[in-house]
């Protein structure tokens, strides 16, 4: 059974770049026709889809964040990553990585999430 | 972009009673070529990630109790919990995956009355 685990700094300074990695275990990131997504959730608020990446490197980003988001995948490490530049306090949230359904943009398997706080 | 609107924001239901959550999309999520609604429901318990409950508007994921059911088509959808159990206390989200970006509703908090 595939499991996902987010990792990265829990505190990022304003204007800097947030960097997170999602490690996939229990199966190869290259197996199947899955996209791999990032979603975030500010405390007490709803869910916002950030974007997704395929093992080929093909990406889709939420237009609301597109100018600041970069995603990458490392199949040799069974990982994929998120970079969000020029962060502000509004980017403080729990960040989740997830595996999408086969060729579907729903999130079938989720990591536990990691809290990232933007503060000086 | 498609916008998802849920109602109510919160819902208090007695144990064993029915809970009904509504979800409306700003445009149809019914794909005519396969007659499928690209609508999912998630359950999020405190301190946990969301869990996919239902896809295709009405198809329960493996292991989801049959007291959970989804219905609707086009732009209007409903999640029903037929007999609320204590473990069903959670926030429920609908999501359209018809187009990018996939979008979530604002969530409905279900509590015990």
**pLDDT digits 0-9 by tens, A54-76:** 999 999 999 999 999 999 999 99
Contact B51 A110 (CB under 8 A): yes
Q: Which candidate from A46, A106, A111 shows the least CB-CB separation from B55?
A: A106
Structure confidence at residue B2 as a pLDDT band (50, 70, 90): very high
pLDDT in the model for residue B42: 98
Q: Which candidate from B49, B101, B103 shows the least CB-CB separation from A112?
A: B49
Residues in B closer than 8 angstroms to A106, CB to CB, are 40, 52, 55, 95, 97, 102
pLDDT in the model for residue A33: 87
Residues 6 or more apart whose CB falls under 8 angstroms from that of A87 comprise A12, A14, A15, A16, A17, A18, A68, A118
- The dihedral through the CA atoms of B104, B106, B111, B113 has a sign that is negative
Q: Which candidate from A51, A96, A105 shows the least CB-CB separation from B97?
A: A105
Residue A116: name the closest of A46, A13, A45, A15 by CA: A13
Give me chain A's average pLDDT, please. Answer: 96
Is the CB of residue B56 less than 8 Å away from at least one CB of chain A? no
Residues in B closer than 8 angstroms to A61, CB to CB, are 101
* A interface test, pick of B2, B45, B100 with most A CB neighbours within 10 Å: B100
Given a cut of 90, whether residue A103 has pLDDT beyond it is: no
State which residue of chain B sits closest to A107, comparing Cα positions: B52
Q: What is the mean pLDDT of residues A44-63?
A: 96
- CB pairs < 8 Å spanning A and B: 53
Residues in A closer than 8 angstroms to B3, CB to CB, are none
Structure confidence at residue A102 as a pLDDT band (50, 70, 90): confident
The Cα–Cα gap between A6 and A28 comes to 16
Q: Is A49 exposed, middle or buried (0-12, 13-18, 19+ CB in 10 A)?
A: buried
3-state DSSP call for residue B7? strand
Residue A47: name the closest of A39, A55, A36 by CA: A39
pLDDT in the model for residue A51: 98
Q: What is the mean pLDDT of residues B16-37?
A: 97
pLDDT: which is higher, A38 or A31:
A38
Q: Which candidate from A63, A107, A111 shows the least CB-CB separation from B101?
A: A63
The Cα–Cα gap between B22 and A95 comes to 26
Hey, what's the torsion of the CAs at B44, A42, B108, A52, to 10 degrees? -70
Residues in B closer than 8 angstroms to A113, CB to CB, are 49
Residue B61 is given by DSSP the state P
pLDDT in the model for residue A34: 93
Given a cut of 90, whether residue A41 has pLDDT beyond it is: yes
Give me chain B's average pLDDT, please. Answer: 97
Contact A49 B104 (CB under 8 A): yes
Given a cut of 90, whether residue B57 has pLDDT beyond it is: yes
Structure confidence at residue B69 as a pLDDT band (50, 70, 90): very high
């Amino acid at each position: 059974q595939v499991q996902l685990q987010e990792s990265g700094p829990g505190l990022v300074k304003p204007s800097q770049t947030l960097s997170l990695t999602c490690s996939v275990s229990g199966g190869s990131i290259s197996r199947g026709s899955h996209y791999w997504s990032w979603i975030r959730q500010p405390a007490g608020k709803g869910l916002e889809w950030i974007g997704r990446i395929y093992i080929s490197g093909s990406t889709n980003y939420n237009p609301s964040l597109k100018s600041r988001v970069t995603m990458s995948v490392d199949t040799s490490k069974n990982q994929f990553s998120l970079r969000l530049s020029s962060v502000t306090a509004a980017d403080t949230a729990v960040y989740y990585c997830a595996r999408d359904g086969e060729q579907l943009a729903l999130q079938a398997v989720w990591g536990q999430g990691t809290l990232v706080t933007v503060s000086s | 972009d498609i916008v998802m609107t849920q109602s109510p924001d919160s819902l208090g239901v007695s144990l064993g009673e029915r809970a009904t959550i509504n979800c409306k999309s700003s445009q149809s999520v019914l794909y005519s070529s396969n007659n499928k609604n690209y609508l999912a429901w998630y359950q999020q318990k405190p301190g946990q990630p969301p869990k996919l409950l239902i896809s295709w508007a009405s198809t329960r994921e493996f292991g989801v109790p049959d007291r959970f059911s989804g219905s609707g088509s086009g732009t209007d959808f409903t999640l029903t919990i037929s007999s609320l159990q204590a473990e069903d206390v959670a926030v429920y989200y609908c999501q359209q995956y018809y187009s990018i970006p996939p979008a979530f509703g604002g969530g409905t908090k279900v509590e015990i009355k």
